[in-house]
Chains A and B, each alone.
Chain A
Amino acid sequence: MTTIYLEGLSLLGPGMNDWAEAAPRLLGQQPFQAEAVRLTAPAILPPTERRRAGTAVKLSMAVGLAAVDDAGADAASLPNVFSSTGGDCENCHSLLEVLASDDRMVSPTRFHNSVHNAPAGYWGIATRCTEASTSLCAYDATFGAGLLETATQALSAGKPCLLISFDTAYPEPLYAQRPIPYPLGVGMVLSPVRTPASKAALRLSFTQEAVGTMEDEQLEALRQSIPSARSLPLLRRLASGEPGREVIEYLDGCHLAIEVTA
């Protein structure tokens, strides 16, 4: 259906603070233990925004910068796709609490941070990227939707594009309806053509075949509970450096088959 070339890759999640930590765990070479995710506010944000940055901004920016760095690219030149099931869930919960209270005067900052594209807005401000940027949601299919959008954006723009797929957790009471146990994010720089920076070719197509799973129970639990972690079978394949085919979960009756070659 569509072939694109991977130039940069990142993963940040529980027990996996960067790709170097994640790769051997995805391959089962080191034991995986889910641990609280360590996030720091990125230095490239202006000081006021840095102080206010919540999990969504810290996570999305960290995986974006790591993928851009891995590709040896310039963030300002990359059209970008932010894909997330809930965006900044902590901020959403805080707004809902205020709106259900006797004093509904919401904070202006909380309000403008409530838009789904707030992390993308901060990314633009921090990296000075004026390229096209979109922000998506497809519930559990959010990673697949982001991958398709980034691939078609790269083909259309004729230049590499950045995917930042990330999910954060709601506190209770919404946690009970959307139990995302940990924040997790995946970054990819995807090019429409093979270049010296290409790490792998990814050929995408739709399929109705069953999706791949993770052998490790904890990793499989992450895959099933965090939309961005639906990517784990693909990331395991990329960590192995071996060519092969993976099927990752997308929508009902429409999953994504990804043929990975050198």
Chain B
Amino acid sequence: MQALRLSAYTLTSALGAGVAPHLAALREQRGGIVKKRWETVEFDVCVGEVAGLDEVALRDDLAIFDCRNNRLAQLGLEQDGFIARVQEAVARYGANRVGVFLGSSTSGILSSEVAYRQRDPQTGALPAEHSYRETHNAYSVADFVRRFFDLAGPAVVVSTACSSSAKVFGTAQRMMAAGIIDAAIVGGVDTLCLTTIYGFSSLQLVSPSPCLPFDGERNGISVGEGAAFALLESAEGTQPGDILLTGVGESSDAYHMSSPHPEGLGAQAAMAEALQQAGLVPGDIDYINLHGTATPSNDAAEGAAVQTLFGNATPCSSTKGHTGHTLGAAGGIEALICALALRDGVMPGGVGTQSLDARLQCNYLLSTVERPLRHVLSNSFGFGGSNCSLIFSLAGA
């Protein structure tokens, strides 16, 4: 495929707002998952919560979009000079030539969860101030970002559970290859809500302590929240040190709604396709950011898939122990962790993981390693058997 340049990017999660706190946490191997009573949840739960969302005020003209998810979107956009970089691109290409492709799994459903508690006891009606379209509907965050920048080009939300904001890189790449747009804002935003906390609990997939990816004692995820944004442009004019998207691989398990194929066949297909698109072989990949959710079956399937394709030498780790599982934002967050890994030569050691599962034969990093990297791969796999692998490369390396 035609490589694309990440001309600007920013991420916000439980590790903090913007690139700097993320890089520091990756270097220092520090996580942001805490155990607490969240919202009206009736039990203590380990969450990767973003600080300060209750205080975020949306821009006045976009107040109708007010919900936790769009507050996180705005907080995320405001970091690292991202807004100015987008505005420059809009000035360069025109408002109709910049697309918005964002991933989210649950969007602003928390606002409907709260509104259902406040139904009129007589009529059952939702409170008058509830705005379904601007908060709960899956498109809400792309609508918000498109209006935030006053854009007039294509926009969509990809909602394929935990692969959502990895797959948007593919959508943008295809739209740009077809000549429909010149640049795209991609990424994802997902926030804590009752649906996921109670839902994953019902499947017995929530760890009682902060999650332990690839550990022999792992027993489930820690739900997190996050916002990731990248501006993608043509690779023309790439300078050494720029980060390039060089491969996108997508596949479906066609196996089960909430369990991966046990040998990770779909994961293998996605990784192989990404390598093929990038024109690379497994030995070219310096680091793999695993999906690594820390559920017993997910990590076993991914470990098997990685071993089949890469053997057991390629350094890899999951950063879910740092951020929690940010679900629909995870693909975007981890894509940008890969960008930081390339830019600063950092392979993050896993957080939480103490003793590796001896059955998972891969080179899982228990401590952070700093050295120059050329090509890294990021995995994202979701419910419904939706798989996506991305490859990022350092220009001039």
Report A's interface with B, CB cutoff 8 A.
Answer: 1-2, 85-87, 92, 95-97, 99-100, 104-108, 111-118, 120-122, 124-125, 127-139, 141-142, 145, 148-149, 151-153, 155-156, 172-174, 176-178, 206, 250-254
Across the interface, do B252 and A124 meet the contact criterion of CB distance under 8 Å? yes
Q: Is A127 a contact partner of B254 (Cβ separation < 8 A)? A: yes
Indicate which residue in B156, B203, B265, B266 contacts A149 across the interface (CB closer than 8 Å): B156
Bound-state CA distance A106–B101 (Å) is: 31
Check B113–A116 contact: CB distance below 8 A: no
Residues of B at under 8 Å CB distance from A? Answer: 1, 42, 96, 105, 109, 112-113, 116-117, 119, 124-126, 130-133, 137-139, 142-143, 146, 152-161, 167, 170-171, 173-175, 177-180, 194-195, 198-200, 202-203, 250-258, 265-266, 269, 382-386
Question: B108 → chain A, closest Cβ, in Å?
Answer: 13
Contact residues in A for B269 (Cβ distance below 8 Å) = 130
With a cutoff of 8 Å between Cβ atoms, the chain B residues found around residue A176 in the complex are: 125-126
CB distance from A237 to the nearest CB of B (A): 22
Contacts of A97 in B (CB 8 A): 116
Whether B159 pairs with A254 at a CB distance below 8 angstroms is no
B198: contacting residue among A99, A120, A142, A173, CB under 8 A: A99
Q: Which residues of A contact B170 (CB under 8 A)?
A: 132, 134
A-side contacts of B156, CB under 8 Å: 136-138, 141, 145, 148-149
Indicate if the CB atoms of B154 and A148 lie closer than 8 Å.
yes
Q: Is B159's CB under 8 angstroms from A117's CB?
A: yes
Show 25 residue pairs from A and B whose CB-CB distance is below 8 angstroms, ordered by the A residue. A95-B195, A96-B113, A99-B198, A100-B113, A108-B203, A112-B199, A112-B257, A117-B159, A117-B161, A118-B257, A120-B384, A121-B252, A125-B255, A133-B160, A134-B160, A136-B156, A137-B157, A137-B159, A145-B154, A155-B178, A174-B126, A178-B132, A206-B180, A251-B146, A254-B154
A106-B198, A251-B154 given; A174·B255 CB < 8 A? no
B383 CB contacts on chain A under 8 angstroms: 112, 115, 117-118, 121
In the bound complex, CA of A177 to CA of B130 (Å): 9
**Given A100-B119, A104-B42: A153 and B139 within 8 A (CB)?**
no
Given contacts A99-B113, A100-B119, A131-B252, is CB(A121)–CB(B386) below 8 Å?
Answer: yes
Do the beta carbons of B160 and A152 come within 8 Å of each other? no
- Taking the closest CB of chain B, its distance from the CB of A207, in whole angstroms, is 11
In whole angstroms, how far apart are the Cα atoms of A86 and B143 in the complex? 15
Inter-subunit contact A134/B158 (CB<8 Å): yes
Shortest distance between the CB of B192 and any CB in chain A (Å): 13
Chain A: minimal CB distance from B68 (Å): 15
Which B residues lie within 8 Å of A121 (CB)?
Answer: 252, 257, 383-386
Q: How far is the CA of A197 from the CA of B173 in the complex (A)?
A: 28
Cβ–Cβ < 8 Å partners of A127 in chain B = 254
Nearest A residue to B147, CB-CB? A252
Query: What separation, in Å, do the CA atoms of A139 and B109 have in the docked complex?
Result: 15
Bound-state Cα–Cα, A111 to B204, Å? 12
Given A125-B254, A139-B133, the answer on whether A104 and B112 have CB atoms closer than 8 Å is no
CB distance from B384 to the nearest CB of A (A): 3
Q: From B116, B167, B386, give the contact of A100 (CB < 8 A).
A: B116
In the assembled complex, how far is the CB of residue B193 from the closest CB belonging to chain A, in whole angstroms?
9
Q: Which of B117, B132, B143 contacts A177 (CB 8 A)?
A: B132
Task: Pick the 4 closest A-B CB pairs, nearest first.
Answer: A121-B384, A111-B199, A116-B159, A132-B250
Residue in A117, A129, A138, A148 whose CB lies within 8 Å of B254: A129
B116–A2 CB distance below 8 A: no
**Besides the contacts A132-B170, A141-B155, what 18 more A-B pairs have beta carbons closer than 8 Å?**
A2-B180, A85-B138, A92-B109, A105-B198, A108-B258, A111-B198, A111-B202, A114-B199, A115-B384, A117-B160, A117-B382, A124-B254, A134-B170, A136-B156, A142-B139, A152-B171, A156-B1, A156-B174
Complex Cα distance, B139 from A174, in Å, reads: 16
A108 contact set on B, CB distance < 8 A: 199, 202-203, 258
Tell which of B251, B256, B257 touches A130, judged by Cβ atoms closer than 8 Å.
B251
Q: Give the most central of B109, B139, B198: most A CB within 10 Å.
A: B139
CB distance from B98 to the nearest CB of A (A): 12
> B174 to chain A: which residues have CB within 8 Å?
149, 152-153, 155-156
Chain B residues within 8 Å of A106, by CB: 195, 198-199, 202
Residues of A within 8 A of B251 (CB): 130-132
Closest-CB distance, B328 to chain A (whole angstroms): 9
Complex Cα distance, B250 from A120, in Å, reads 14
Contacting residues, chain B, for A124 (C-beta < 8 A): 252-255, 384-385
Most buried by B among A100, A117, A127, A131: A117
